[in-house]
Amino acid sequence: MFNRFARYEDAFRDWRRDGMPGLKADSYKYIEWLTSPDDDQAARAGTLWPHQWESFLRVVYAHEILGKAEIGADGLLLNVVTGGGKTAVIAAVIAWLRIAHNVQKFVLLCPNLIVRDRLEDDFQGGKVFKDRDLLPDWAVPLGSGNFDLTTLGGGKEAGWSSLFSASVVLGNIHQFYLSNKSGQSNLSGLMNGPEFALFNDEAHNSPAPEYEATLLRMRERVVLRVDTTATPDRADGRTPDSSMIYEYGVTDALADGIIKTPVVYQPDIKTVQLTYTDARTGEKRKVEEIDWDEVDRLGLSATQWVTDDEPMRQQMAIALRRLEEQERRAKGRYQPILFVVAVCKADAEKAEQTLNAYFKVKTLLVTEDSDEADRQKARELGKQQKSAKPYKAVVSVLMLREGWDVPEVGIILLLRKFGSRVYGQQVIGRGLRRVRVKGVEREEPQICAVVDHPKLEHQWLWDIFNARVRQNVLIDQPFDESEDLPKPPPKQELDKPNLVIDIPPRDPSVMDDGGFDVGDVPPPPKPLENWREELERIEYDPTVVEITKVGIAGVVGQELGGHGWKTIHSAPDSDGLPGSVGQVSDGAARDSMKFVLLEIAEALTVEAGYAAAFKDRVYSALLHHVRAKFLNGLSLGLAERADVDFAWKMLRQVKAKVGTIPGLIAGVIEYGN
């Protein structure tokens, strides 16, 4: 996303140097109060961190000096890394707007309950204002109590009366949608009140039709809109409509010691034992051992390397060795947490049971079916250190993403492949927030250990996060963060902002006449009208391949710069441990069948050249196909559990065989009913 403030950096720097001319008198007085007495370019100690101060001043400059006609007609966007303290910036802007512009109402929008609960904790009772000393007594006689909060949802609001009376209104964006009566009422109450400042947290969610429409409806009553995010780019390629005025990314945060240093661990695999089993009867047909270099010819899926029983146990053993190291570093001051990320409920249940029963590690499972008590436990994981048996691990499916901030997360185990750049960054971001508890010094090195698998192909993600490894060490040599962590990379500075140019908008008068040469690209296959007959003719081999043993030479870490891999640790031996691999519940097995079938439908739809919106047609066809082939014609809800398990094991074949028939998916989309 383009930084629209870059062209103003020179003028902004001169403006600060010259004493901020042109500011309202109250704005100048408040900024002077926040400024360090020893450095007129820095914030006073205990208030805002340097990058937060830079964010805040750019908002003030853009609003008062440049104005909406110049920048930010649809809002100003602050792109600040996870753990960079976006909430403190929001609070400082709120205090400034109240003091200098007499704004009495502030609306905080968020995309989900996790983010809402975090913001509520920060603003309840004016906590963030007190913690950061953001309110001078001379301007707000009542102090932080002058910013009373109402939270929409969960029975915490009192209708229009709370919307009118509260200074700070916190709600999920969906609570202002016109598609539901409650949203209509909330939006009406807001729009019939005074003008307000709008803060759109996790703003990368906003490019959705109703989300965008709601922000547009609010625009006429908004004094200033400030968006915040750590990942402005979305998987669909769209970005928020607000103007980005400040970037503070991973490289900058590492240089300033604001976040933990990510270190990625992967197994160095030499041999693989495969077992060929009849998926219907469980009969083992043959076992073979092959070299790692030969596995690609077998077409094993990426997820098998982290969800089949033996590979999952080995990845967990690697992660638990990292957990032991993190516990030694914690020295009893806090309990490090292992965060396990699964792709569906079946894999999540299996992972949770394996950790609990096989490795004897107290583990919490959080999915969309979890009750509020378990979700609350997830939010408070870092506060359970004093309990007799605190949780040491949490397993999640899609739930613990943006807004779930538990600094004690020190190890992340990936049991899924990320297709989305946004989601991948959000998940890793859960482990970047530094632990700040009593006894932990600000200068103390902290790392986030990420356990990955080479077959998941996440190199693009480690490039984004600037993952670090040590070099030339022996297997089983302990990691010494004081010696092995490299010096942080230099901060990137804009050297010549006067040379920044805007990307010109697309000229609607310029039309593509299609005259360019695209080469010898074969035409797409003709959609099959008889696609049902083609589906029916597909035959399946009940033999499935399972990874039953993996020979690991060691655990290695990735070095940036293309220099390859260096050994870090050996993988701990997981053989001989008591207990068994967890069993998947009946409900999770059936739900996961639907989830994975939908993923397959979307992948096949896109591969066939159609928009993902057509996936529902393909999903319906695949579901009927699976029922006919593996479930004796019964629905997923009525089929025998043994048949559901059989169908689950055959899904990889379904995707492969259906996807290889030219025109079949196109036929489903064009001629399906």
Tell me the C-alpha distance between 222 and 239, whole Å. 21
pLDDT score recorded for residue 399: 64
Residue 324 domain-assigned (yes or no) = yes
CA 608 to chain centre: 28
Are the C-beta atoms of residues 609 and 524 closer than 8 Å to each other? yes
pLDDT score recorded for residue 475: 44
Residue 129 domain-assigned (yes or no) = yes
DSSP 585-610: PHHHHHHHHHHHHHHHHHHHHHHTT-
Tell me the C-alpha distance between 354 and 540, whole Å. 31
pLDDT score recorded for residue 666: 94
* Res 560 pLDDT > 50: no
Are the C-beta atoms of residues 541 and 653 closer than 8 Å to each other? yes
* Res 1 pLDDT > 80: no
Residues 118, 24: one domain? Answer: yes
Q: Span 143-153, mean pLDDT?
A: 73
- Residue ranges with strand state E in 442-542: 447-451
Work out the percent of the chain whose per-residue pLDDT is above 70. Answer: 81
Q: Span 238-265, mean pLDDT?
A: 83
Angle, alpha carbons 204-209-210 (nearest 5°):
95
* Res 125 pLDDT > 50: yes
Work out the percent of the chain whose per-residue pLDDT is above 90. Answer: 36
Residue with tokens 């490894």: 469
* Res 446 pLDDT > 50: yes
Residues 244, 310: one domain? Answer: no
Tell me the C-alpha distance between 225 and 197, whole Å. 6
pLDDT score recorded for residue 19: 94
List, in sequence order, the alpha helices (H) in 494-580. 531-537
CA 508 to chain centre: 36
* Res 204 pLDDT > 70: no
* Angle of helix 615-630 versus helix 586-607 axis, rounded to 10: 130
pTM metric for this prediction? 0.76
Q: Span 52-58, mean pLDDT?
A: 96
Q: Which residues contact 11 (CB under 8 A, 6 or more apart)?
A: none
Residue 338 domain-assigned (yes or no) = yes
Residue 486 domain-assigned (yes or no) = no
Are the C-beta atoms of residues 347 and 415 closer than 8 Å to each other? yes
Tell me the C-alpha distance between 144 and 125, whole Å. 7
pLDDT score recorded for residue 657: 93
List, in sequence order, the alpha helices (H) in 144-249. 160-165, 181-191, 209-218
Residue 512 domain-assigned (yes or no) = no
Residues 191, 293: one domain? Answer: no
Q: Span 555-571, mean pLDDT?
A: 48
- Indicate the pLDDT class of residue 206, thresholds 50, 70 and 90: low
pLDDT score recorded for residue 506: 59
For 460-516, the pLDDT digits (tens) are 888 777 665 544 444 455 555 554 455 555 555 656 655 655 555 555 555 555 554
Residues in the chain: 673
Residues 247, 276: one domain? Answer: no
- Indicate the pLDDT class of residue 156, thresholds 50, 70 and 90: low
pLDDT score recorded for residue 478: 52
DSSP 23-72: --HHHHHHHHHHEETTEEEEEPTTS--HHHHHHHHHHHIIIIII-TTTS-
Residues 273, 198: one domain? Answer: no
DSSP 109-161: EESSHHHHHHHHHHHGGGHHHHHTT---TTT-TTGGGGS-EEE-STT---THH
Q: Which of 212, 228, 256 is the last residue of a domain?
A: 256
* Res 640 pLDDT > 90: yes
Residue 539 domain-assigned (yes or no) = no
Tell me the C-alpha distance between 405 and 378, whole Å. 10
Tell me the C-alpha distance between 262 and 239, whole Å. 26
Residues 458, 601: one domain? Answer: no
List, in sequence order, the alpha helices (H) in 221-308. 250-256, 304-307
- φ and ψ of 537, to 5 deg: -75, -15
Tell me the C-alpha distance between 310 and 315, whole Å. 9
pLDDT score recorded for residue 517: 54
pLDDT score recorded for residue 238: 66
Tell me the C-alpha distance between 628 and 635, whole Å. 9
Nearest to 80 by CA among 106, 50, 107: 50
Q: Which residues contact 75 (CB under 8 A, 6 or more apart)?
A: 198, 200, 215, 224, 225, 226, 227, 240, 241, 242, 243
Tell me the C-alpha distance between 325 and 333, whole Å. 14
Are the C-beta atoms of residues 367 and 336 closer than 8 Å to each other? no
Decide: helix, strand or coil at residue 256: helix
Q: Span 206-224, mean pLDDT?
A: 83
* Res 430 pLDDT > 70: yes
**Domain extent at residue 200:** 6-256
Residues 314, 383: one domain? Answer: yes
Q: Which of 569, 603, 621 is the last residue of a domain?
A: 569
* Res 247 pLDDT > 70: yes
Residues 290, 423: one domain? Answer: yes
Per residue, the 3-state secondary structure of 367-406, as one string, reads CCCCCHHHHHHHHCHHHCCCCCCCCCEEEECCCCCCCCCC
Tell me the C-alpha distance between 284 and 356, whole Å. 28
Residues 242, 268: one domain? Answer: no
- Indicate the pLDDT class of residue 577, thresholds 50, 70 and 90: very low
- Indicate the pLDDT class of residue 625, thresholds 50, 70 and 90: very high
Tell me the C-alpha distance between 106 and 92, whole Å. 12
* Res 22 pLDDT > 80: yes
Residue 35 domain-assigned (yes or no) = yes
Q: Which residues contact 61 (CB under 8 A, 6 or more apart)?
A: 8, 12, 15
- Looking up residue 90, the CATH number of its domain turns out to be 3.40.50.300
Residue 292 domain-assigned (yes or no) = yes
- Indicate the pLDDT class of residue 288, thresholds 50, 70 and 90: confident
What is the Cα Rg of the chain in Å? 27
Lowest mean pLDDT across 81-90, 93-102, 506-515: 506-515
* Angle of helix 372-379 versus helix 113-123 axis, rounded to 10: 60
Lowest mean pLDDT across 68-82, 152-166, 561-575: 561-575
pLDDT score recorded for residue 558: 47
Q: Span 240-245, mean pLDDT?
A: 86
* Res 152 pLDDT > 60: yes
Q: Which of 240, 256, 272 is the last residue of a domain?
A: 256
* Res 569 pLDDT > 70: no
Q: Give, as one character, the DSSP assignment of residue 80.
A: E
* Res 621 pLDDT > 90: yes
For 349-368, the pLDDT digits (tens) are 999 999 998 899 999 888 77
Nearest to 350 by CA among 578, 590, 574, 582: 582
Lowest mean pLDDT across 20-29, 44-53, 238-247: 238-247
Lowest mean pLDDT across 307-316, 331-340, 503-512: 503-512
Tell me the C-alpha distance between 226 and 241, whole Å. 11
Residues 552, 594: one domain? Answer: no
- Indicate the pLDDT class of residue 559, thresholds 50, 70 and 90: very low
Are the C-beta atoms of residues 163 and 218 closer than 8 Å to each other? no
pLDDT score recorded for residue 494: 58
What does pLDDT average to over the chain? 82
CA 114 to chain centre: 12
Residues 310, 164: one domain? Answer: no
Q: Which residue has the higher pLDDT, 165 or 459?
A: 459
Are the C-beta atoms of residues 267 and 314 closer than 8 Å to each other? yes
Residues 305, 442: one domain? Answer: yes
Tell me the C-alpha distance between 252 and 250, whole Å. 5
pLDDT score recorded for residue 386: 60
Q: Say how many domains are in the chain.
A: 3
- CB-based burial, 536-569: b 16+ in 10 Å, e otherwise: eeeeeebebbbbbebebebbbbbbeeeeeeebbb
List, in sequence order, the alpha helices (H) in 506-614. 531-537, 586-607
Tell me the C-alpha distance between 248 and 107, whole Å. 24
pLDDT score recorded for residue 641: 93
Q: Span 210-232, mean pLDDT?
A: 86
